[in-house]
Structure 1
Amino acid sequence: MSARLRPPRNASVGFVPILLANLVPLVGVARLGWDADTLVTTYTLELFLAVPVTALKTLFAQRPPRSDRDSNFISPSRELTRKRGSVVLSRWLPPVYPRTVPFIASLAVPMAWLAAFLVLALSEANALTAVFSRPTVVVSVLGLLVSQAIDTWRDYIRGGRYQETSPDTVAERAARQTLFVVSLLLVLEAVTRESRPAAITTVVLAVFVGGKLLTEWASYRASHSDAGDTTGFTGWLAGPKRGPESTDDPDVPTAEPDARIQTDSTAVAATAAFRTVDPKHGLFYFSVGVLFWLLSAGATANVTDSSLAVVGVTLAVVAGWVAFQLTKALAFYLEYGTLEYRRYGARLVAYDTRVGEPQWSAPVDSIRNVTFLDTRFADHLFDTRTVRVTTGVGDDETERILGPVVDADSLVETFDLPVAVTDPASFSPRTGAIALLLAGAICVTLVVLTAGSLVPSAVTLILWFLLPALLLAPWSVWRLAYSN
């Protein structure tokens, strides 16, 4: 880190903007007569609007993520998390690391929860009035956000803290802080639900604001701890220890490659899109979304008895699900879309032309178990082929995907793949059409049952939850459309 970018020695000075911003709610409770609904709305808005800040910090985190993330709240799929390299978008900003995208996708889940919780808070008439009629509430929310933005720019970006941070640490720390604050908000709602003397209510609210401020200090201290050995509550809030400084570089010869074969980026993009609607990769999360919507909308209806609030929760859940699916599709494209397979003597090297970094390498003679994946619809649309292989031996044994590539013969010949190139499996349009008609009939039936209230609402919800299982039948018919 250059001297110009080093943060000041007394890092506690950077907490001053956060401290001042968190004192505004305390003044609101002590002097301006803020009630519990106002505080809940203020802090929920802060948490919800802080998610983009967390996503930005995650995007710039330079260290690779840790491999053991089983105990984390945020645990994305393994796709792309091992990606090497970065892209510079602006000389004023740190490099962007594609391997952080899955962690950003995982933030869609807590963001949907916060959106639902925000709708629930705003559905109370008093809270809604407080937001739009009290300028101090708006000032408080803006102050809380500005304080985070100052800390992010001053210490994380300009001070180079991103160089010492891994994406799993950033996302996990934000998730834990959000969980703790939301728990405090729920306790506050429960404690202040019954009418109490004004003095006691004020004391309760002031204690809550103090607890929130203590949480902010613990989070700040955890994120600015160079030793990374915080313990107790601060240690839990800090999340997992930061990842390794770097990963082992692939073995790449220094000479020019003997041959290059580029993946077809259009076919990769189409495959990423199709994965969002197949039961194995995409529709599973649909059931999770339905379950989440059922819990959120049910709680909202019971507490507020407001149809508008239920609609708001529904839109929040749908937006979160769509954002999650789009981000997963982007992660798949970033993983395979710009790869180039290079032959260096007796080695195969997968090189990413966008980030300019080798991703992995393996001896050519270790490649085995070669299989053409002929059930990818994008390959039939764009006349490409995709191959699954096993590389390495012992601890280095890994199953990898090569392609999609336009010239499968050249791929096999260039890397001496132990497989005979056969014609791709044909696709039966008639069988495919039957599968689509079956899937469409199932979806239309569910829509009609829901809109017409032809069955009890509980049955309808169960059917929507089971939609991925119901679509397995047309999915099986779709796969029968491929024949050798």
Structure 2
Amino acid sequence: MKRRERVSPLTSSPVGAISLTGANLLPLVGVLLWEWSLWSLLVIYWAEAFSAVVLAALKILFAERGSPSVAGQMEPLRELREKRGGWVIRGSWPPVYPRNIPFALSLVGGWFVTVFPVSIAYWLSVDAPPVLTLNLLCGLGTLVVAQGVDFVAEYIHRERYTDVSAREIMRTPAQLTALLLPLALFATDGGRTGGLVILVGVVLGKSSASLYRFYVEHIGTPVLGTGDWFEAEENLSEPPPEIELPDDAVQARVSVSAKSVLLGSLWAIAYGFANRLGLGSLVVTGFATIARDPVWMAIGLVGVGVIVATRVLSYFFRYGTIEYQRRGNHLVAYDKLLAAPQWCLTVDSSTTFSVKNAIADRLLDTGTLTISSGGEQEDVQIGPVADIDRVVETLGLPVEETARPDRDPVVIGAASVLMLCFAAVPAGLFFSSQITDAMAGAITVVFAPFFLLPVGVLLWAALSRI
């Protein structure tokens, strides 16, 4: 996509600054003329924070720069982080990058797992929640529209998506949510607590913080060099991770085995529950089952089903749409759906090939090669493919041995016995006359992760030696 000439932020930001200023000062009119309370301001700013989360998730999808990984952090659908290329959904807009989807899901999922349920419980706990009057809805709509104007006019049309990464965008909704905490502490009684001075101070303080955030994001220089206490010390952005194709023509190409990719995706389902949203769905389903509540059981099962389906589709999108090409002395993994290369390496004497001992390959008699280039590039894979020997010959790979390790009955038997021992512990609770079914179910829900981990490892060990 040919990029337009960039416009100076000093000349491109007045419209956004004016709309943001007017929207943030409108609640001041509500306080002075319509007698809004702190509760009313809390409703306004909560809705603004929620819309900021939604718009930030949209911005994340278009962010062009890369986002460095965080040690120990696992985003939903993490395998999409390795996808390269994007979809153009509208001619004048930038492409949507699948590698940013995990960050968008993490942002929205974190809100729904933490802020949203706490807000609902807080709302239901008060004696007299505020009434959504026309004036209140007007102020709410104005703040939301101001964010929409900034998204379309500044982020899309001024091409600010070229300068930011997904991780950088995630800071703004976090900051806005943090601004709500002091306001929520003051708003517990729903009245005009603290008088007019506090109400005006809250509006002006929040407006100043929003304008300062706008100034830093669009002009980029903190006032008086004081910096931003919200900023993280580590680097949140890196150059776009897109890969260029070599000039050589395609000499040979092979496709993956779709059945083997789908079977392999079953093991990736477990990672879908290794986050707040996944664990929350399991907990809701488990306690609903114990309480025999059909409504919450249905909600929990729908959540679990959605997570399972997205994990399978995500895994297939990661490996099932790939075509492996030989271009001169280069080996390229090319995504046919995105029409973009995923990785490219040179096949030479330093390139090492090894057979991956994948369970799906053993069950379906397919094959997968792991490739190490010996440099800083991470190991990549070819496959799973239907006939690994034919693939080696077609792509001209210097691979001498394509056989997997032999079946090991001793490992299979030992892992199966240990797996049954671990599984027998929670199963025995339901057959004990001293423990009620409700208590057994509660214990199973609480301690299930501790039992599932060794059972899963042992099951993988047994199947990998079939």
| TM-score grouping bracket, smaller chain normalisation | 0.7 to 0.9
Tell me which residue corresponds to 1:150: 149
Tell me the residue number matched to 1:402: 382
CA distance in 2, matches of 1:157, 1:321: 35
Where does residue 87 of structure 2 map in the other structure?
87
Q: Does 1:205 align with 2:199?
A: yes
Q: What is the alpha-carbon root mean square deviation over aligned residues?
A: 4.6
Find the aligned partners of 2:112 and 2:396 in 1 and give their Cα distance. 45
Within-5 A mapping of 1:385-424 = 385-390=367-372, 392-396=373-377, 398-413=378-393, 414-422=395-403
The answer to whether residue 116 in structure 2 is matched with residue 115 in structure 1 is yes
Structure 2 distance, partners of 1:125, 1:163, is 45
Distance in 1 between the 2:304 and 2:10 partners?
41
* DSSP-derived class of the 1:466 partner: helix
- Distance in 2 (alpha carbons) for counterparts of 1:204 and 1:465: 45
The amino acid of 1:113's aligned partner reads T
Residue pair 2:357, 2:464 contacting (<8 A) in 1 also: no
CA distance in 1, matches of 2:299, 2:255: 40
**Change over 3 Å in CA distance of 1:402–1:45 after alignment to 2:** same
Write the distance in 1 (CA, Å) between the matches of 2:106 and 2:428: 30
CA contact (8 A) 1:287 1:467 kept: no
Distance 1:38 1:102, change over 3 A: same
State the partner residue of 1:177: 175
Per-residue deviation at 1:85?
Answer: 1.9
Per-residue displacement from partner, 1:210-251 (whole Å, max 9, x unpaired)? 22212211221222125699954547359976634444845x
Change (3 A) 1:334 1:384: same
Alpha-carbon shift at residue 326 of structure 1 (Å): 6.2
Q: Where do 5+ consecutive residues of structure 1 fail to align?
A: 298-310
- 3-state SS of 1:85 partner: coil
1:308 maps to which residue?
Answer: none
Superposition TM-score, scaled by structure 1 size: 0.75
After superposition, the Cα gap between the structure-2 partners of 1:195 and 1:370, relative to the gap in structure 1 and judged at 3 Å, is closer
The aligned runs of 1:373-384 (5 Å cut-off) are 373-376=357-360, 379=361, 384=366
Change (3 A) 1:12 1:383: farther
1:356 aligns with 2:339: yes
Note closer, same or farther for the CA distance 1:364–1:61 as it changes in structure 2 (3 Å cut): same
Matches within 5 A, 1:101-140: 101-107=101-107, 108-125=109-126, 128-131=129-132, 134-140=133-139
Per-residue CA shift, 1:78-132, capped at 9, x if unaligned? 644353322212214221112211211221223422212331343144564423x
Return closer, same or farther for 1:129/1:249 CA change in 2, 3 Å cut-off: closer
**Does 2:274 align with 1:284?**
yes
Matched, 1:262 2:262: no
Instruction: Tell me the CA shift for residue 325 of structure 1.
Output: 6.8
Distance in 1 between residues matched to 2:338 and 2:200, nearest whole Å: 50
- Deviation per residue, 1:299-344 (Å, 9 max, x gap): xxxxxxxxxxxx99x9999998887776665554443232211112
Q: Distance in 2 between matches of 1:74 and 1:231?
A: 34
Tell me which of 329, 344, 348 is aligned to 2:327: 344
In the alignment, which residue of structure 2 is the partner of 1:217? 211
Change in 2 beyond 3 A, CA 1:367/1:15: same
Q: CA deviation at 1:363?
A: 2.7
By how many angstroms is 1:268 displaced? 3.4
- Alpha carbons 2:128, 2:190 under 8 Å: kept: no
TM-score by length of 2: 0.77
**CA distance in 1 between partners of 2:135 and 2:435 (Å):** 44
Question: Which deviations, in whole Å up to 9, do the C-alpha atoms of 1:45-74 show, x marking residues without a partner?
Answer: 222233221111111111222x36569x99
Cα distance change, pair 9–395 in 1 and its aligned pair in 2 (3 A): same
Alignment check: 8 A CA contact 2:23 2:146 kept: yes
* Aligned amino acid, residue 123 of structure 2: L
Residue range with higher mean Cα deviation, 340-349 or 360-369: 360-369
| Matched AA of 2:30 | G
- Structure 2: which amino acid aligns with 1:130? V
Q: Is the 8 A contact 2:251 2:328 kept in 1?
A: yes
Change (3 A) 1:288 1:231: farther
Distance 1:327 1:210, change over 3 A: farther
State the partner residue of 2:291.
Answer: none
User: SS where residue 93 of structure 1 aligns?
Assistant: coil
**CA–CA distance in 2 between the matches of 1:167 and 1:248?**
15
Contact 1:105 1:323 in 2 (8 A): no
Map 1:186-201 onto structure 2 (within 5 A): 186-193=181-188, 200-201=194-195
Task: Please state whether the residue corresponding to 2:182 is helix, strand or coil.
Answer: helix
Give the distance between the partners of 2:101 and 2:427, measured in 1 at CA.
31
Cα offsets for 1:150-188 (capped at 9, x unmatched)? 1100111112111222222112x234314422xxx3323
- Number of the residue aligned with 1:35: 37
SS of equivalent to 1:38: helix
Q: Count residues with an aligned counterpart.
A: 446
* Residue 265 of structure 2 is aligned to residue 275 of structure 1: no
- Counterpart CA distance in 1 for 2:149 and 2:190 is 39
Aligned equivalents of 1:156 and 1:436: distance in 2?
Answer: 56
Structure 2 distance, partners of 1:179, 1:55, is 15
CA separation of 1:460 and 1:454: change in aligned 2, threshold 3 A:
closer
- Specify the alignment match of 1:307 in structure 2: none
Q: Which residue of 2 aligns with 1:301?
A: none
Per-residue CA shift, 1:397-422, capped at 9, x if unaligned?
x2223222222222233342535333
Moved more, 363-372 or 14-23: 363-372
Q: Distance in 2 between matches of 1:229 and 1:244?
A: 25
Q: Does 2:366 correspond to 1:372?
A: no
Distance 2:460 2:44 in 1: 50
Residues in 1 aligned to 2:307 and 2:229: alpha-carbon distance in whole angstroms: 29
Distance 1:360 1:254, change over 3 A: same
Residue identity matched to 1:356:
A
Deviation string, structure 1 residues 338-367 (Cα, Å, up to 9, x no partner): 221111233212222223222222232333
Answer yes or no: is the 8 Å Cα contact 2:39–2:130 preserved in 1.
no
Instruction: Note closer, same or farther for the CA distance 1:195–1:119 as it changes in structure 2 (3 Å cut).
Output: closer
- The answer as to whether partners of 2:333 and 2:342 remain within 8 angstroms in 1 is yes
1:236 aligned residue (230, 245, 270): 230
Corresponding residue SS for 2:376? helix
